[in-house]
Amino acid sequence: MTIAIIGGTGPEGSGLALRWAQAGERIIIGSRDAQRASDVAAKLREKGKSVGATGVPARDVSVSGAENKTACDSADIIVLTVPFEAQAEMLKHIKPVLRPGQILVDTTVPLAASVGGRPTRSLGVWQGSAAQQAAELAPEGVSVVAAFHNISAGLLHHDGPVDCDVIVCGDDKQASQRIRVLARKIPGVRALDGGKLENARIVEQITALLIGLNIRSKGHSGLRITGLPPEAYDV
């Protein structure tokens, strides 16, 4: 399975790339600039290996870099990790190379910071959520799944498990399940079925709340859901 991370040179994208590469997935870092993508990929290969030194047996990790469109071309799963202000434009850019059967994972949070406002506030999106905007812009046959909004990039780049649940929303149940499997490959993460894609509007906004908590308390906050039976976390 090959995973393209669009906007993969940013903190969130590269953090997800690192964790999945360490879990044995084949990763392509996408960027507007192929050279920059390759540079970040090289760094992630080094960083991915270096985990071996801290106890886990070292192994080569598969991370390469490419221009965003090229990255999508050979991917089964495409993870969009660009800021909200770049989301629609980026989707229009990659749309010609997307094809039925691919899964598009949208991680976008419509923060007011996108238009010069506060990162603790969100924007209203006409379609209801950034994820639903992505679904409108994606070609027919590409399943859009929303996830990973609430995982702090800081935690992804640190060693050790990530103390966060990932709530996965999507209208294609099979695609949604595949992304829950992928989420669980990040050590510490539990994945939950968040229901339909429209529910992403709530999950997206939680990020603004977590950013506020981070600012007030100087932390890298995440989310755990309590009170559900263990089966809720099965995939």
Binding site for a second copy (CB under 8 A): 120-122, 152, 155, 163-164, 167, 192-195, 198-199, 201-203, 205-206, 208-210, 212-214, 216-229, 231-232
CB 103 within 8 A of CB 182: no
In the complex with a second copy, the residue whose CB is nearer, 181 or 215, is 215
In the complex with a second copy, the residue whose CB is nearer, 58 or 215, is 215
Return d(Cα 72, Cα 233) in angstroms, integer: 29
Q: How far apart are the first and last CA of the chain?
A: 18
CB 72 within 8 A of CB 92: no
In the complex with a second copy, the residue whose CB is nearer, 47 or 220, is 220
Smallest distance, Å, CB 202 to a second copy?
Answer: 4
In the complex with a second copy, the residue whose CB is nearer, 7 or 194, is 194
Smallest distance, Å, CB 220 to a second copy?
Answer: 4
Return d(Cα 96, Cα 189) in angstroms, integer: 33
Smallest distance, Å, CB 192 to a second copy?
Answer: 6
Smallest distance, Å, CB 23 to a second copy?
Answer: 21
Residue 73 in 3-state DSSP?
helix
Smallest distance, Å, CB 213 to a second copy?
Answer: 6
Return d(Cα 206, Cα 161) in angstroms, integer: 21
Buried b / exposed e across 68-80, counting CB within 10 Å, b at 16+? bbbbbbebebbbb
In the complex with a second copy, the residue whose CB is nearer, 91 or 130, is 130
- Judged on CB neighbours under 10 Å (0-12, 13-18, 19+), 195 is middle
